[in-house]
Amino acid sequence: MSATQESPLADKVVLVTGSARRIGAAIAQAFHAKGAKVAVHYHRSCAEAGALVRAMNAERMASAAAFGADLADLAALEALPASVVGTLGALDVLINNASTFYPTPVGKISRAAFDDLVGTNLRAPLFLSQAAAPELRRRQGLILNIADIHGLRPLGRHAVYCAAKAALLMLTQSLARELGPEIRVNAIAPGPVLWPENGMDEELRRRIVARTVLKRTGSPEDVAKAALFFATDAPFVTGQVLAVDGGRLVGGEER
């Protein structure tokens, strides 16, 4: 018997939003390596999603599929779980990973930025979880929300993003209470794992790393391992938030 056949994820179906690249892709690859069938959701990253799915299917035939959807479009969002079930046969795990992140200094916050940040980081996970709930309930499934330590600790000039992620953490607990006992709902709060794609000042990076207990950045694979823990090794855990942050929340100022 192969390692993937022995895995509790063998032939389970996992939907990871925003999984064409970065942390989402690492999570998708980790679940696929454990035998799961993976639904790779993307919005604009069509080429990257296609390449990832082809690589997975080269390893195991018909084990992955790409699903394009704008999560700001409520109709497209609500249709996504049914599309996954229709293509891959079921849905066992929903990982709400898709996110937008950029500064919104107070005094310069626009309605468009507010709608975008709250829409991607809170509204989409809520309505996608609601749409997926009937199938997840039938399958005794899992919802996993990828939040941020800045939902627990504010980040300067990012008031809207932090508020949306804080709300996502409360949503995690609320859904855990409402959807149990059939569905478990947990969250991961990454810390300094990947820097913003639009760049960050090198001195600021240095200060952030210095304020972690482990004095280094993490990797997307660290977040993926935490996701696997919730999916495979934590059957009695729900409504919890796991910070994958190298001790950033408790690190304080540089020593």
Domain boundaries, the chain: 3-251
**Rounded to an integer, what distance in angstroms lies between the CA atom of residue 174 and that of residue 31?**
26
DSSP 8-state symbol, 150: G
Contacts of 184 (CB under 8 A, 6+ apart): 141, 142, 143, 176, 230, 234, 235, 237, 238
**Rounded to an integer, what distance in angstroms lies between the CA atom of residue 20 and that of residue 173?**
27
Is 161 labeled as catalytic in the residue annotation? Answer: yes
**Rounded to an integer, what distance in angstroms lies between the CA atom of residue 70 and that of residue 211?**
36
CA dihedral defined by 33, 48, 191, 136, rounded to 10 degrees?
A: -60
**Rounded to an integer, what distance in angstroms lies between the CA atom of residue 228 and that of residue 70?**
26
Determine contact, residues 85/134, Cβ cutoff 8 Å: no
CA gyration radius for the chain? 18
Report CA-CA distances (Å) from 170 to 96, 174, 255: 14, 6, 33
Instruction: Give pLDDT, residue 2.
Output: 56
Give residue-wise pLDDT tens across range 178-219: 999 999 999 999 999 998 887 778 888 898 899 999 999 999
The SS3 of residue 8 is coil
pTM: 0.96
**Amino acid type, 29:** Q
**Rounded to an integer, what distance in angstroms lies between the CA atom of residue 129 and that of residue 179?**
10
Report CA-CA distances (Å) from 110 to 72, 118, 155, 162, 166: 17, 12, 18, 16, 20
**Rounded to an integer, what distance in angstroms lies between the CA atom of residue 108 and that of residue 126?**
27
Instruction: Give pLDDT, residue 191.
Output: 96
Q: Which residues of the chain have pLDDT under 50?
A: 1, 254-255
Determine contact, residues 187/240, Cβ cutoff 8 Å: yes
Determine contact, residues 249/149, Cβ cutoff 8 Å: yes
The CATH architecture annotation of domain 3-251 reads 3-Layer(aba) Sandwich (3.40)
**Bridge-partner residues for 186, per DSSP?**
144
- Active site residue: 31, 67, 161, 230, which one? 161
Instruction: Give pLDDT, residue 255.
Output: 40
Give residue-wise pLDDT tens across range 35-59: 999 999 999 999 999 999 999 999 9
